[in-house]
Amino acid sequence: MKAEILKMLKERRGFVSGQELCEELGVSRTAVWKAVNQLKAEGWPIEAVRSQGYRLTGEADVMTSSELATILNTSWVGRRLAYFDETDSTNIQARKLAEAGAPHGTLVVADCQNAGKGRRGRTWSSPRGMGIWMSILLRPSFPPMCASMLTLVAGMAVVRGVEQACSLHPLIKWPNDLVLEGKKICGILTEMSTEDEEIRYVVTGIGINVNNEEFPPEIRETAASLRMELGHAVRRSPVIAETARAFEEYYEIFSRTRDMSGLREIYDGLLVNRGREVCVLDSKGSYRGRALGIDDEGSLLVEREDGQVVHVISGEVSVRGVYGYV
């Protein structure tokens, strides 16, 4: 009911009478009053005037299930939504939901993660109210070898989401980081469960630094947030909604070919180190080369000094700029 009241208040941009809300929702005045109070407690600036009703007096960075339910404009991502005020990790929760039978497209969002997971066993700083910590549960029919490309698909979706919601233009540091002015604003962690060489489910976790004003010392030099770039606070729910919408679009293109052929051109245009010299570090050592773009399988093409083009596969490999992170 909270979501419906919120939707009506947002659409009206003026007073909605208590009577109207009761009639529309088929509930008592007390029930409406209670729901409005809950919305206020969540942070919505709602004014109540005795003879006129209720009215939203401004915008707020509220990211609850009612807000997400009203703002999401998707066909399948987030049709089932799990919102946590605080949790260990949205990837862990998405996996639990998957094991319990949750459907393709289930979206898990948290305001705070106390055990956020990064790549390679690292932790992911996820302070309350500062960022978007979310995971999308997928149940694809394609083979496990395709799953790592979902990280690239998600990266493209976040670029579009950030562009649409805040007019910033991040770029992608292959395979899973988004950068603005050379600093990381987003990381993606895709995890998969398989059985008999088939995917049971995939969880694509997305962490976006939105309103952070400071970072832990170990990432202070390389991390940034949307707020730091814009100079003002950003509402998180529109970024989630635009990202979810873009993800659906790109995922559908990807699913048709089960590779990056239909998305490669756009991805290459977003690659921060395209044409630049990079340093590739793998388990055997490191080498330098020029990043050319990706191939249809999502590997990074790196041209070495002798002209040989290496197809770098994501996983236990790190690609850095020659002079630093990008």
Q: SS3 breakdown of the chain: % helix, strand, coil, rounded to 5?
A: 35, 30, 40
CB of 184 vs ligand BTN, minimal distance in Å:
7
CB of 177 vs ligand BTN, minimal distance in Å:
6
Q: Please identify, using beta-carbon distances, which residue of 165 and 206 lies nearer to ligand BTN.
A: 206
Cβ neighbors of 261 (< 8 A, separation 6 or more) are: 296
Greatest extent of the chain over all pairs of C-alpha atoms, in Å: 79
How far apart, in whole angstroms, are the C-alpha atoms of residue 208 and residue 269? Answer: 21
- Residue 241 tokens read as 């909604």
- List the interface residues with ligand BTN, window 127-166 (CB under 6 A): 133-135
How far apart, in whole angstroms, are the C-alpha atoms of residue 15 and residue 55? Answer: 5
Q: Please identify, using beta-carbon distances, which residue of 117 and 245 lies nearer to ligand BTN.
A: 117
> Which of residues 152, 158, 189, 312 is near ligand BTN by CB under 6 A?
189
- Which range, of 32-40, 61-69, 204-212, 243-251, touches ligand BTN by CB under 6 A? 204-212
Q: Which helix (H) or strand (E) holds 82?
A: strand 81-84
Tell me the site size for ligand BTN, rule CB under 6 A.
Answer: 22
> Which residue type does 129 have?
G
205 touching ligand BTN, by CB under 6 A: yes
207 touching ligand BTN, by CB under 6 A: yes
- Residue 140 tokens read as 């694809």
122 touching ligand BTN, by CB under 6 A: yes
Backbone angles phi, psi at 304, to 5 degrees: -80, 170
Q: Please identify, using beta-carbon distances, which residue of 56 and 153 lies nearer to ligand BTN.
A: 153
Q: Which of 262, 289, 171 is nearest to 224 (CA)?
A: 171
Do 279 and 194 meet the contact criterion of CB atoms below 8 Å apart?
Answer: no
- Residue 27 tokens read as 């509930």
CB of 208 vs ligand BTN, minimal distance in Å:
8
> Which residue type does 115 have?
A
> Which of residues 2, 119, 160, 173 is near ligand BTN by CB under 6 A?
119
Cβ neighbors of 244 (< 8 A, separation 6 or more) are: 72, 74, 77, 78, 107, 136, 157, 161
Q: Which helix (H) or strand (E) holds 270?
A: helix 264-270
Angle of helix 236-257 versus helix 149-166 axis, rounded to 10: 140
DSSP state letters, 110-168: ES-BSS-B-GGG-B----TTTEEEEEEEE---S-GGGTTHHHHHHHHHHHHHHHHHH--
175 touching ligand BTN, by CB under 6 A: no
For the window 78-117, what string marks contact with ligand BTN as x by the rule CB under 6 A? -----------xxx---------------------x--xx
CB of 320 vs ligand BTN, minimal distance in Å:
14
CB of 100 vs ligand BTN, minimal distance in Å:
18
29 touching ligand BTN, by CB under 6 A: no
> Which of residues 66, 106, 148, 176 is near ligand BTN by CB under 6 A?
176
Q: Please identify, using beta-carbon distances, which residue of 91 and 299 lies nearer to ligand BTN.
A: 91
How far apart, in whole angstroms, are the C-alpha atoms of residue 137 and residue 121? Answer: 20
Nearest residue by C-beta to ligand BTN? 187
> Which of residues 44, 54, 83, 124 is near ligand BTN by CB under 6 A?
124
CB of 7 vs ligand BTN, minimal distance in Å:
27
Chain contacts with ligand BTN (rule: CB under 6 A): 89-91, 113, 116-119, 122, 124, 126, 133-135, 176-177, 187-189, 205-207
